[in-house]
């Protein structure tokens, strides 16, 4: 039995080592590929349920390796966060988003805003807020066209620091969305203290919204957002039945495969042209 246990332990250690090596290899590749411009920012349209018009897009990172394969952000974002690379990548994302806002204005789509995802390590950096304000100023973009998507987990450490940062961003006119609401560490009491503009209903709640008795959470979040005078956007909308339910609940905006998948910049511009 002892021998067996020892062997088991060795397998376990081998597995850990493999995992660590895999991780380090991926991080090295990500660093190289980032410096060789293999990261792309794609855009997924967000539409008003009332007018059917595109009101914005969520910017989503794509990593295309040298052999043309895509690696999912679900895999590489955690590695970028773990390694600290997310700081540089995040700066690049915000810069790209500002460039995109400028392009949209130039092409006459001046009602379209761009949302970017912000990771906790990015937010923790002391100069995060000033950096963003500087970047929007350098690009001369209207601050309200840039939206930051943060998750409630950001409140896990030092809520007051977070609240102060958000207030400062808000003062500058930058828009703030609470992403994946209801899936993480949340305290409803903070919701009221934070200067959010939008509440994003997580895909997991939208997913089974049309199953009997399964829409309670989504409905409640939509209602809560409306009561708080926030814009409410549902993500992961995949069919007409879900849209109909969201409309009935008075959800303001939608995003999902039913309308469009995330796409490269040129395709997004063409999508806007067609949707005009």
Which residue, 149 or 243, is less far from Ca ion as judged by CB?
149
Which residue, 222 or 236, is less far from ligand C2E as judged by CB?
236
Cα–Cα distance measured from residue 233 to residue 202, given in angstroms and rounded to the nearest whole number: 9
Query: Is residue 256 close enough to count as binding ligand C2E by CB under 6 A?
Result: yes
Among 257, 264, 270, 273, binds ligand C2E (CB under 6 A): 257
Kindly identify the residues of this chain, within the stretch 191-230, that bind ligand C2E according to CB under 6 A: 203
Which residue, 108 or 264, is less far from ligand C2E as judged by CB?
264
Kindly identify the residues of this chain, within the stretch 44-103, that bind ligand C2E according to CB under 6 A: 44, 60-61, 72-74, 77, 93
Residue 93 touches which member of ligand C2E, Ca ion, none, C-beta under 5-8 Å by kind: ligand C2E
Query: Is residue 262 close enough to count as binding ligand C2E by CB under 6 A?
Result: yes
- Report how many residues bind ligand C2E under the rule CB under 6 A: 22
Q: In terms of Cα–Cα distance, which of 86, 96, 81 is closest to 146?
A: 96
Structure tokens that stand for 17 in this block: 């080592």
DSSP state of 142: -
Compute the least distance from the CB of residue 245 to ligand C2E, in Å: 15
Cα–Cα distance measured from residue 190 to residue 155, given in angstroms and rounded to the nearest whole number: 8
Which residue, 159 or 184, is less far from ligand C2E as judged by CB?
184
Compute the least distance from the CB of residue 77 to ligand C2E, in Å: 5
Residue 45 touches which member of Ca ion, ligand C2E, none, C-beta under 5-8 Å by kind: none
| 79: CB partners within 8 A, 6+ apart | 23, 26, 27, 30, 85
Cα–Cα distance measured from residue 197 to residue 174, given in angstroms and rounded to the nearest whole number: 9
Compute the least distance from the CB of residue 149 to Ca ion, in Å: 4
**39 forms bridges with which residues in the sheet?**
63
Angle of the 73-83 helix axis to the 2-35 helix axis, nearest 10: 90
Which residue, 105 or 238, is less far from ligand C2E as judged by CB?
238
DSSP string, 147-180: EEEEEGGGGGS-HHHHHHHHHHHHHTT-EEEEEE
User: Which residues of the shown chain bind Ca ion in the complex (CB under 5 A)?
Assistant: 117, 149, 179-180
In this structure, are residues 115 and 41 in contact, taking their beta carbons and an 8 Å threshold?
Answer: no
**Integer angstrom CA distances of residue 84 from 14, 42, 76, 81, 276:** 26, 22, 12, 5, 40
Residue 256 touches which member of Ca ion, ligand C2E, none, C-beta under 5-8 Å by kind: ligand C2E
In the complex, which residues of this chain contact ligand C2E (CB under 6 A)?
Answer: 44, 60-61, 72-74, 77, 93, 116-119, 179-180, 203, 235-238, 256-257, 262
């Amino acid at each position: 039995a002892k021998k067996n246990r020892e062997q088991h332990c060795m397998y376990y250690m081998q597995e850990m080592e493999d995992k660590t090596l895999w991780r380090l290899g991926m991080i090295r590749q990500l660093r190289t590929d980032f410096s060789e411009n293999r990261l792309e920012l794609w855009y997924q349209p967000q539409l008003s349920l009332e007018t059917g018009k595109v009101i914005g897009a969520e910017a989503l990172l794509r990593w295309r390796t040298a052999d043309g394969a895509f690696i999912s952000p679900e895999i590489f974002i955690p590695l970028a966060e773990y390694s600290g690379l997310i700081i540089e990548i995040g700066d690049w994302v915000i810069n790209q988003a500002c460039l995109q806002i400028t392009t949209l204005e130039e092409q006459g789509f001046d009602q379209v805003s761009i949302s970017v995802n912000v990771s906790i390590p990015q937010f923790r950096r002391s100069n995060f807020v000033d950096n963003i304000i500087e970047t929007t100023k350098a690009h001369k973009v209207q601050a309200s066209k840039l939206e930051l998507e943060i998750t409630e987990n950001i409140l896990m450490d030092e809520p007051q620091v977070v609240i102060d940062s958000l207030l400062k961003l808000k003062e500058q006119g930058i828009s703030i969305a609470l992403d994946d609401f209801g899936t993480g560490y949340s305290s409803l009491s903070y919701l009221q203290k934070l200067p959010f503009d939008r509440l994003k209903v997580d895909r997991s709640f939208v997913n089974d919204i049309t199953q009997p008795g399964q829409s309670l959470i989504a409905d409640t979040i939509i209602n809560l957002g409306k009561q708080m005078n926030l814009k409410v956007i549902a993500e992961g909308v995949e069919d007409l039945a879900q849209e109909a339910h969201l409309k009935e609940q008075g959800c303001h905006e939608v995003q999902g495969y039913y309308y469009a998948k995330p796409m490269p910049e040129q395709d997004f511009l063409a999508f806007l042209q067609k949707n005009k």
